[in-house]
Amino acid sequence: MSAPAPPVTAPHAPRPVTPVGILAAELDAVLAHAEAGGLDAAALERLRAARDLAAGLDPYLERATSPESPALADLARRTAAHDWRAHPGDTGLEQEMLSGHVEGQLLRLLVHATRARSVLEVGMFTGYSALAMAEAVGDDGRVVACEVDAEVAAFAKESFAASRAGARIEVRVGPAADTLRALAGAGETFDLVFVDADKAGYRDYLDLLLGSDLLAPHGLVVVDNTLMQGQPWRGTTPTANGAAVAAFNDALAADPRVEQVLVPLRDGLTLVRRVPEEPR
């Protein structure tokens, strides 16, 4: 297992954005209260065990997963070192959007396992997942990455230019739904599609993929953030993103065109494939 990565000098400390990360932070806060208030020793011990279980999972996954390439590590460092609060416009972009080491490695393995040569990404940010998949597609493969924010697309292209695999990525700047329609109109087909853009657009993106030849017959769709910090089941008032993801998950579960599984890695990834039509 590799040693933990050196700390990054970031303008803002990252906040927890996955169900397990949020659980660990909640347990940390409760434990601090309990320690100050003199909770019974046995209860305190169980609370500490619960916190350690939750807080240790993500770091352990990092250590047990193959290390990222130097190019991906550089891209992650650049993203963390950037002051996203100073990014032009009210875009909501933040370092926590980056998928990162473990998810990037899962995407690489999915590209290898499906032997995907053409990959489509919907929502690129600074390009971590696009570059991870580009490293796996091989010299004859390509990744088309959609991003609506021109500045962040330019930021990503600077990282792509510094790596051999970066040359396999074509960036399309604009609303992803428009890009998907244009790609479908041009007869493009993709073996693997990673959906990680605006959550309100997820249902449209899936309909565009399934209602055209954009998704190859054997194609795999990977949809990110489908646990959305636990909002779909927590019973608290969801954010707009939480409500959109909950509605997307419900629609997917009732969609006869596909079969899917929600993998609880980080903030959840749903793997979707089109079910072949039964012969009449």
Q: Binding residues for ligand SAM, per CB under 6 A?
A: 93, 97-99, 123-125, 128-129, 146-149, 152, 175-176, 196-198, 201
Q: How far is the CB of 265 from ligand SAM (least distance, A)?
A: 13
Separation CA 36–CA 202 (nearest Å)? 45
- Smallest separation, CB 253 to ligand SAM (Å): 23
| Nearest approach, Cβ of residue 104 and ligand SAM (Å) | 7
Smaller CB separation from ligand SAM, 55 or 227: 227
Minimum distance from residue 26 beta carbon to ligand SAM (Å): 23
Give SS3 for 263. strand
What are the residues whose beta carbons fall under 8 Å from the beta carbon of 56, sequence distance 6 or more? none
Q: Which two tokens stand for residue 173?
A: 């700047």
Smallest separation (angstroms) from ligand SAM to the CB of 164: 19
Of residues 34 and 243, the one with the C-beta less far from ligand SAM: 243
Q: State which residue, 97 or 252, has the beta carbon closest to ligand SAM.
A: 97
Q: Least distance from C-beta 172 to ligand SAM, angstroms?
A: 9
Give the SS3 label for residue 50: helix
Task: Rank residues 55 and 221 by Cβ distance to ligand SAM and give the closer one.
Answer: 221
Q: Closer to ligand SAM by CB, 89 or 276: give it.
A: 89
Contact 105, 165 (CB under 8 A): no
Spatial distance between the Cα atoms of 133 and 141, rounded to a whole number of angstroms: 10
Q: Which one, 27 or 116, has the nearer CB to ligand SAM?
A: 116
**Structure tokens of 85?**
């609060």
For residue 140, what is the DSSP state? T
> What φ, ψ does residue 243 adopt, rounded to 5°?
-65, -40
DSSP secondary-structure letter at 262? Answer: E
Instruction: Name the nearest CA neighbour of 265 among 105, 71, 131, 127.
Output: 105
- Neighbouring-strand partners of residue 220: 192, 273
Closer to ligand SAM at the Cβ: 149 or 191?
149
Determine the Cα–Cα distance for residues 222 and 129; give it in Å rounded to an integer.
12
Indicate the helix (H) or strand (E) that contains 133.
helix 128-137
Is 126:98 a contact under the CB 8 Å cutoff?
Answer: yes
User: CB of residue 262 vs ligand SAM: minimum separation in angstroms?
Assistant: 17
